[in-house]
Structure 1
Amino acid sequence: MLAVYADHFDATDPLAGLATGERPDPVEREGWTTVTVRATSLNHHDLWSLRGVGLRAEQLPMILGTDAAGVTDDGREVVLHGVIGADGHGVGPDETRTLLSEKYPGTFAERVSVPTHNLVDKPAALSFEEAACLPTAWLTAYRMLFRSAELTPGQSVLVQGAGGGLATAAIALGAAAGLEVIVTSRSETKRSAALALGASHALEPGARVPHRVDAVLETVGAATWSHSVRSVRPGGIIAVAGATSGDPSPAELTRIFFNEITVRGTTMGTRDELVSLLAFLVQADVRPTIDGTFPIGQAQDAFARLASGAQVGKIVLV
């Protein structure tokens, strides 16, 4: 089958290790189901994998990808929950939690196998391309907003960064849920796009927010951490799901304890939360923003777009 995989690692030029070619079909195993992939989407996790983060050289070649929507052999249209080992289904209770493409082959292939419990029915209202955007970035944004930050209608949230898949998801979900969403971005184009998605304010990085917010969604790290700590109200929450610019130094601990700020880490979400997210999107008539769609044979171009940081929304492979 045709697949996109990590051939070798390169910390400075991750795309150098990206390859597209024939790989073996998935191995059948008890409690797992093989899905014919109709669409899949890129995440920064894939770039980190090409740098050698979370993978060992002896695991290569490794098919990349954590997100997918497709069809089972009996015709069921499904969305894949990409976390393996979180609940023991298909792997046993003692297996450490991983994402697809970390231990088991990922979704950038014509076919992928996952524990049968990881399959969720795709709503008819969502296209395969839209559904493929959801299991990582959108699910993480959903969990950050409504589980980690515990936000409710009428409250306010600051989203650091406005263009990526998680940020656009947080803006659209937050606006649909009745939140006041404030975003930051260096790009005027991305700030305008954020306002079009429902953000109330779009600011340059580090700019003073109109008022201290109830929560901050933080995925940038060092470049925005100080601004996040200063922008959240006393007793507020900072939900952290990444640090693309590195770990912050200093950590602003004095301000955190003095203002009783809660910092919560978030990784992906549960299968049940994915089911809830799908229902939310259908009920609220919200759809993912897709920056571009590429055939699997043009994966190099899709990855180059992701690496450039110019995208607004998700990048999809079909």
Structure 2
Amino acid sequence: MRCAYARSQDPDDPLAGLVVGDLPEPAAPEGWTSVTVRTVALNHHDLWSLRGVGLPGDRLPMILGTDAAGVLDDGTEVIVHSVVPSPGWQGEETLDPRRTLLSELHPGTLAERVRVPARNVVPKDPAISWPEAACLPTAYLTAYRMLFDAAALRPGQTVLVQGAGGGVATAATVLARAAGLRVWVTSRSDTKRARALEIGAHEAFETGARLPEQVDAVLETVGEATWSHSLKALRPGGTVAVAGATSGAMPPADLSRIFFRSLRVVGTTMGTRDQLVALQQMLLATGARPVIDSVVRLDDVPAALGRMADGDVVGKVVVELDA
């Protein structure tokens, strides 16, 4: 089976351990189903796995990829939900402390076929294209949950999205604008700020710039480099929703600002299957669609991940497999 997998790991040179080649097709545990993969979206999670973060070395070789859209054996077109709870878990899957994502314990989606729990597939609406569908399960689902669950934003409120250009930040810009929010973004890059305005941001600012007014919520995936600015940007009682820390996870906490101004710091990761269903329904109702940087073939995955590592991507890179 053709796939892209981690053969080895290197924190300084993650692409050194990436292989596009053949591995045996994994067996399906009882209660799981097989999906013939049509499209996969790349994520920074793939680079972290190649660096040795979140993927123990004794699980190598591991097929990479968390996002996919494809076809069941009976012809049903589906989107794959990547969060896999532990056996016997009851309740919301994202709250299971032993949950994993595809490519952490079980083989991932960057392959001709992937096996997932039967519950982890969502019917794909024909109005959503294959490349668009592949973008939903990680970046867009994470952004959806940050906006409407963690930050509990409502139409007319103002949200600041740190780090415009990244997958989750781009998704948040698109979804927030579609939901009737006022959307502000930050980036160090003139090009990424301009692109954010094109896809729906109302205003785009230099990273760390003083804003015209304080905001209702901040979406934080950058971490140390933007944390102080995120807290200062919030109105009293505002919320910072945190779903990542690409620049470092240990900034000064600034606890006095948090308690004195009654700020809320809410951590969140991925989303539930039900939220994935709701996300697709939102796209259908609003006409909003994922921003796609490029569509590549499986053999192009190393070069595409290299572009991601260099920060040379706006939106999602989608891998298209042969039908």
TM range (shorter): over 0.9
Contact kept? 1:223, 1:248, Cα under 8 Å = no
The aligned counterpart of 1:282 is: 284
> What CA deviation, in whole Å up to 9, does each residue of 1:87-142 have, x standing for no partner?
x6xx3328821000000000000000000100000011011111000100000000
The aligned counterpart of 2:304 is: 302
1:281 CA displacement: 0.4
The aligned counterpart of 1:255 is: 257
CA distance in 1, matches of 2:256, 2:14: 37
Percent identity for Structure 1 against Structure 2: 61
1:182 counterpart SS class: strand
The aligned counterpart of 1:163 is: 165
CA distance in 2, matches of 1:250, 1:108: 38
Contact kept? 2:242, 2:266, Cα under 8 Å = yes
The aligned counterpart of 1:233 is: 235
CA distance in 2, matches of 1:210, 1:36: 49
Contact kept? 1:238, 1:264, Cα under 8 Å = yes
The aligned counterpart of 1:93 is: 89
Q: How many aligned residue pairs are there?
A: 314
CA distance in 1, matches of 2:89, 2:147: 29
Contact kept? 1:225, 1:248, Cα under 8 Å = no
1:291 CA displacement: 0.4
The aligned counterpart of 1:27 is: 27
1:16 CA displacement: 0.9
Q: Which structure 2 segments of 5+ residues have no match?
A: 91-95
Letter in 2 for 1:224: T
CA distance in 2, matches of 1:231, 1:190: 20
2:249 counterpart SS class: coil
> What CA deviation, in whole Å up to 9, does each residue of 1:192-238 have, x standing for no partner?
11111111110000001111000000000010000000001110000
Confirm or deny that 1:124 pairs with 2:126: yes
The aligned counterpart of 2:93 is: none
The aligned counterpart of 1:66 is: 66
1:238 counterpart SS class: strand
CA distance in 2, matches of 1:188, 1:120: 38
The aligned counterpart of 1:244 is: 246
Letter in 1 for 2:46: D
How large is the RMSD of aligned CA atoms in angstroms?
1.0
The aligned counterpart of 1:144 is: 146
Contact kept? 2:69, 2:80, Cα under 8 Å = yes
Q: TM-score, normalised by structure 1?
A: 0.97
CA distance in 2, matches of 1:151, 1:249: 25
More deviation, 147-156/17-26: 17-26
Confirm or deny that 1:39 pairs with 2:35: no
The aligned counterpart of 1:79 is: 79
More deviation, 269-278/25-34: 25-34
Within the candidate set 194, 197, 200, 1:198 is matched to 200
Q: TM-score, normalised by structure 2?
A: 0.95
The aligned counterpart of 1:214 is: 216
CA distance in 1, matches of 2:191, 2:168: 17
> What CA deviation, in whole Å up to 9, does each residue of 1:37-82 have, x standing for no partner?
0000111111111110111111000001100000011100000000
CA distance in 1, matches of 2:62, 2:28: 18
Contact kept? 2:173, 2:199, Cα under 8 Å = yes
2:5 counterpart SS class: strand
The aligned counterpart of 2:182 is: 180
CA distance in 1, matches of 2:46, 2:101: 11
Contact kept? 1:4, 1:20, Cα under 8 Å = yes
CA distance in 2, matches of 1:59, 1:247: 26
Q: Which runs of 4+ in 1 moved over 6 A?
A: none
Letter in 2 for 1:232: L
CA distance in 2, matches of 1:239, 1:29: 36
Q: Which structure 1 segments of 5+ residues have no match?
A: none
